Amino acid sequence: MELNVKVAAILDEVADLLELKEDSFFQVRAYRRAAREIESLTADVKDLYIRGHLAQVPGIGKAIHDKVVEIVRTGELQYLKDLRNEFPAGLLQVMRVPDVGPKTAGRLYKDLKVTNLQYLRLAAEQHRIRRLKGFGERTEENILKGIRFLESGQGRMLLGYAYPRGKALEEHIRSHGFPQVSLGGSLRRMKETIGDIDILVGSDDPQRAMDTFISYPQTEEVLLKGPTKTSIRLVDGVQVDMRVVEPSSYGAALQYFTGSKEHNVTLRSLAIDLGYKINEYGVYRKESGEKVAGETEEGVYSVLGMQWMPSEMREDRGEIDLSRKGRIPRILELSEIRGDLHTHTEASDGVDSMEAMTEAALGKGYEYLAFTDHSRSLKVGNGLSVERLQENIRLVRKIGERYPDIHLMAGTEVEIDEKGGLDYPPEVLEELDIVVAAVHSRFKMSSEEMTERLLTAISNEHVHILAHPTGRIIGEREGYQFDMEAVLQAAKDNDVAMEINSFPERLDLNDTYCAMAMQRGVTLSIDTDAHNVRQLDYMLFGVATARRGWVPKELVLNALSWDDLRKRLDL
């Protein structure tokens, strides 16, 4: 009975959050017992309520009885909403990791500031969990396994989780003498979430290609092995499918297996109208059966009178018509990014020092790097008081003198309060090179209130960038509601950049909103929100999201040269 399951799940979550709060053991136990009793009922809980028999269910005292009635009547429980608001939303996901649970999550939250899965993984990978009393190396290993289990069980992987796995396998195959190898499917199109990883190989020796594939050190199990297709499961549960075609068909197969489905349907309809037939092996004249293309993707599109387009654009959003007219726009390249304007250090909730972040940015060839640690009211992020911020500014200037090959910027990720005000006074913000404004609280305001909140912040003369504008966390939290049209217009009017936050859990703005911003000429800033040096690599995912929205270099703030950026920010 669906309602019984729903009521039990709500009561269980209440128990989890009460345990996280370290409330009375007896209260926690009461909610858990009530959840188990309702879950095991053979009668529908709504029928029991209607007949007045709900109070007869064991474990349903007066307080819990009233809450069950509220759930039956409304489908929701206000008490649960209130409890959720006491903690970061990501903690609920942390508690679902096997071997974590509410008590452990609470300890990690208090001692290590772990507020979501990303921070949990980071704490485990950096061996900070094992240093806590009562924890150890085995606990860390089990937590990492639990995260992998949770992610693989969701059916979709984050792009940032799938991409490095796919690229490592691609390189493994290429290193064994197979130059024609590529990712395919939604991973090649760089969608924000991925199902299985697809790999395509062009080779006259398919058996050796298959043997190379299954010899990958991270292979846990061979699910299927055939003459042209093999599937494996990696040790972390990810499934990878590989197809092998002859080199003469590699381009056609790459086009076909990249997709999207909608793009391919439109393409094949066009081919039929032009007297051709397309499949994964090539392009053929319909009447004679003669193969006229297939070795390269460019050839497949060219024979249909089309211009080749980047894989990120292939979602049937008008790219085929533009291609036929030879008008595929030039979109942003990763190599055109000149710096990162939103990063964190050990001063707030980051891990690495300014020096370490600077050297990593230099390694990427960046011209500039902004340090934007959290502002004072974000306690969970170890936000900086005015005095600590001013110390940080002095430190940025001092370190900058030691690194003449990169321009270091003193900034802040400043909190936007519920009225749209900022966490620091104007005279403090004036001391900064860059101000990144962000919402981290009161997500459930009405659309009208949130819109006004954002418009007020954007109109503040000190704000340069609106960080992760919708506030979503993929798989954990929907974005807050507001009038995107109005906010985009305000951003343009006030010369404020809308951020594409490259963190894999965010990718916010998403590709659809990137396209909206691009069409309106709104400036975008693609930033990593990095909390350690490795996360500076996330820039790839933000750029991919921009490319999926057809964003050109000209609309990207951090694609500007240092001289142009300095003029833009009036530094």
Residue-wise over 315-337: b if at least 16 C-beta within 10 A, else e?
A: bbbebbebbeeeebeebbeeeeb
Q: Report how far residue 276's alpha carbon sits from residue 448's, in angstroms, rounded to the nearest whole number.
A: 53
Evaluate if residue 152 carries a pLDDT over 60: no
What pLDDT, on a 0 to 100 scale, did the predictor assign at position 86? 86
**Digit-coded pLDDT (tens) for 332-354:** 999 999 999 999 999 998 888 99
What pLDDT, on a 0 to 100 scale, did the predictor assign at position 351? 82
What pLDDT, on a 0 to 100 scale, did the predictor assign at position 59? 81
What is the rounded average pLDDT of the residues 317-334?
Answer: 97
More confident residue, 6 or 335: 335
What is the rounded average pLDDT of the residues 117-143?
Answer: 86
What pLDDT, on a 0 to 100 scale, did the predictor assign at position 293? 97
What is the rounded average pLDDT of the residues 190-207?
Answer: 95
Domains of the chain as residue ranges with CATH:
2-153 (1.10.150.110), 156-245 (3.30.460.10), 265-328 (3.30.210.10), 334-569 (3.20.20.140)
Contact 529, 344 (CB under 8 A): yes
Q: What tokens appear for 341 in the block?
A: 């304007």
What pLDDT, on a 0 to 100 scale, did the predictor assign at position 2? 63
**Digit-coded pLDDT (tens) for 382-435:** 899 999 999 999 999 999 999 999 999 999 999 999 999 999 999 999 999 999
What pLDDT, on a 0 to 100 scale, did the predictor assign at position 4? 80
| Most trustworthy range by pLDDT among 22-26, 157-161, 458-462 | 458-462
Single out the residue of 467, 445, 448, 472 nearest to residue 457, CA to CA: 467
What pLDDT, on a 0 to 100 scale, did the predictor assign at position 245? 97
What is the rounded average pLDDT of the residues 258-285?
Answer: 95
What pLDDT, on a 0 to 100 scale, did the predictor assign at position 155? 60
Which H or E run includes 299? Answer: helix 297-303
More confident residue, 46 or 178: 178
What pLDDT, on a 0 to 100 scale, did the predictor assign at position 150? 66
Evaluate if residue 570 carries a pLDDT over 90: yes
What is the rounded average pLDDT of the residues 452-457?
Answer: 98
Write phi, then psi, for 30 (nearest 5 degrees): -65, -45
Instruction: Return the SS3 of 47.
Output: helix
More confident residue, 61 or 365: 365
What pLDDT, on a 0 to 100 scale, did the predictor assign at position 514? 98
**Digit-coded pLDDT (tens) for 83-110:** 888 888 778 778 878 668 788 888 888 8
- For the ranges 150-154, 249-253, 402-406, which has the lowest average pLDDT? 150-154
What pLDDT, on a 0 to 100 scale, did the predictor assign at position 401? 97
- Global confidence as pTM: 0.75
What pLDDT, on a 0 to 100 scale, did the predictor assign at position 19? 84
Evaluate if residue 1 carries a pLDDT over 70: no
Whole-number average pLDDT of the chain: 92
Contact 421, 456 (CB under 8 A): yes
What pLDDT, on a 0 to 100 scale, did the predictor assign at position 451? 98
Evaluate if residue 154 carries a pLDDT over 60: no
Instruction: Return the SS3 of 413.
Output: strand
Q: Band of the pLDDT at 51, cuts 50, 70, 90?
A: confident
What pLDDT, on a 0 to 100 scale, did the predictor assign at position 559? 98
